[in-house]
Amino acid sequence: MLAEIDNLRISFPTPSGFYEAVRGVSLKLGQEKLGIVGESGSGKSLTARALMRLLPSQARIEADTLRFDGIDILSASEQQMRAVRGKRAGFILQDPKYSLNPVKSIGALVAEVWRLHKGGSRREAMEAAINLLEQVKIRDPHRVAKSYPHEISGGMGQRVMIAMMLAPDPEMLIADEPTSALDATVQAEILRLIEELVSERGMGLLLISHDLPLVSHFCDRVMVMYAGRVVEELAASELSSAHHPYTRGLLDCIPSLSRPQERLSVLNRDPAWANP
């Protein structure tokens, strides 16, 4: 089991006491593709970040179990965490416009991560970086390696991000809305690339998105989160037979060509779902 989470709770201090943003999430992830969907604020990103302990320092994290490959994340030292971050689990952020350091060249960004985990000379690292850029299907990797993040497109930026995170050959990849900042045509390309690399390398994938059909298409299992809880978990193929009214509501909101609706349904929320 790569990731094991049981009863994870994340809360933030507010003037009126702690606010619980994640309220008892449990999940298990092996060498498979798990998708987490939910609206903004449902706690899906926080759950993923907690697994790599990348939350802001004021966040309070509690869990019965929070383990990566047997390592207890809650009690791990910063040094142990660095052996997990990057090296064993990669993390792809949402928007390459902000997630790539603007003052570093693409080549330097990828080479730095490679060298950090694999050692070797600067030249070797740069060669490896160019090789990685090729693997994420960037044409003309030599030229791209010399350019800066603001000089490349969003889609290419996300490929660079993937190359950075693949550099240490991790066993698991967490992708936090990796395509929501991209054009619709590029989205599919990036997801296909991620899927290809994940299957090729036999990695586990945690894909976070708010796009239900997209996730069900690329993942084996889907978890639906609402207000800091998992409301439904099912195999991607069984999505159409989902039971929970929230999941049903999400599905009904998707306009479809084969099943035209006079008026698109409105997503209804029931406060009771938040406190079962």
- Residues that bind another protein in the complex, under the rule CB under 8 A: 52, 54, 78, 82-87, 90-91, 93-95, 98-105, 112-113, 116-117, 148, 150-151, 161, 164-165, 167-168
| Element spanning 197, H or E | helix 184-201
Q: How far is the CB of 117 from another protein (least distance, A)?
A: 7
The nearer residue to another protein, 35 or 90, going by C-beta atoms, is: 90
Query: What does residue 270 show for φ and ψ, rounded to 5 degrees?
Result: -115, 120
3-state class percentages of the chain: helix first, strand second, coil last, to nearest 5: 40, 25, 35
Amino acid at position 88, single letter:
R
Smallest distance from another protein to CB 253, Å: 29
Q: Give 224's contacts (C-beta < 8 A, 6+ positions apart).
A: 37, 38, 212, 230, 231, 232, 233, 242, 244, 246, 247, 250
56/260 with CB nearer another protein: 56
Pairing of strands 3-14, 60-62: antiparallel
Question: Could you tell me the smallest distance in angstroms from the CB atom of residue 202 to another protein?
Answer: 21
Pick 90 or 155: Cβ nearer another protein:
90
Question: Is the CB of 82 or the CB of 201 nearer to another protein?
Answer: 82
Smallest distance from another protein to CB 92, Å = 9
CA terminus-to-terminus distance, the chain: 28
Strands (E), the chain: 3-14, 17-29, 33-37, 60-62, 65-68, 71-72, 89-92, 172-176, 204-209, 221-226, 229-235
Q: What is the closest distance, in whole angstroms, from the C-beta atom of residue 39 to another protein in the complex? A: 21
Distance of closest approach, residue 102 Cβ to another protein, in angstroms: 6
Task: Give CA separation, 63 vs 71, 75, 108, 237, in Å.
Answer: 14, 11, 37, 30
Judged by DSSP in three states, 172 sits in strand
Cβ proximity to another protein, 104 vs 217, nearer residue: 104
Cα–Cα distance measured from residue 100 to residue 111, given in angstroms and rounded to the nearest whole number: 13
- Residue 85 Cβ vs another protein, minimum distance, rounded to whole Å: 4
Closer CB to another protein, 88 or 229, in the complex = 88
Comparison of 54 and 188: residue with beta carbon closer to another protein: 54
